[in-house]
Amino acid sequence: MAMRYSFSSIPDSKVPIASSALLQHLLNTYASETNKVISVWLVFSDADLTFRPHARSSSVLQILEHQLLSERRFFSEFLGLLELPPAEVLPRDKTIGGFTQRMLDLAMPRLQCLAQKQVDWWIEPVPFFDVTRERIWIFWRRVLHTAHHRTQLTVYLRLLDKRVPSTYGPTADITWQGADPTNTVDAAGRGAAR
């Protein structure tokens, strides 16, 4: 049985076709990562928004707000996409439902815009904070930044004794027949040896 996510905000049928087959993985990845973020957010309740595991840690609410605001900055300032003004990014409804819907509402136009970009646009060097990097490098940095904050929140879920959803494979809470995590030397040894 293949891995099937129980929830998908952006189904494969809604991911636009990239201008070049070489670039399709970027759109597929951004849609997939958005789905993973939303699936993690949906496990929290509104009562969890103020939770923080330590006084110096961000609260769930602060991480959700940072996710939306920092994506806006990456896509606007660094990649050069037309984005909403910063004051319009956060949801008026400061609930889990409000944040998840806002994440989806912001992601869909980005996918459409990114689908139209040509290879030359992706490899063009542009300012990124105090350095210069290709747009494709900045995009992947955004994906990694998103994964970092999603991972923070999965730790928060475990500390709250909530179910941790599958994002890249099985978890202690969710698995399936045929799941094959690499937890042993034997599993790591599958494939060609050098």
Domain ranges of the chain: 12-188
pLDDT bucket at 41, cuts 50 / 70 / 90: very high
The whole-number pLDDT of residue 6 equals 63
In the chain, beta strands by DSSP E: 125-128, 131-134
Q: Is the pLDDT score of 163 beyond 80?
A: yes
* Model pLDDT, residue 1: 40
Q: Tell me how far apart the alpha carbons of residues 71 and 107 are, in angstroms, rounded to a whole number.
A: 9
**CA distances, 121 to each of 36, 135, 194 (Å):** 27, 7, 38
Q: How far is CA 98 from CA 7, 41, 95, 152, in A?
A: 17, 11, 5, 20
Query: Hey, what CATH topology would domain 12-188 get?
Result: Four Helix Bundle (Hemerythrin (Met), subunit A) (1.20.120)
Q: Which two tokens stand for residue 140?
A: 């992947």
Taking residue 22's Cβ as centre, other Cβ atoms within 10 Å add up to 10
Q: What percent of the chain has pLDDT over 70?
A: 96
Instruction: Tell me the HSE value of 180 on the side-chain side, using a 13 A CA sphere.
Output: 9
183 or 133, which is more confident?
Answer: 133
Average pLDDT, the chain: 93
- Give residues with Cβ within 8 angstroms of 142, minimum separation 6: 71, 74, 75
Compute the average pLDDT of residues 95-118.
98
Tokens of 53: 């595991």
Q: How many residues does this entry show for the chain?
A: 194
Report, as an integer, the average pLDDT of 47-66: 98
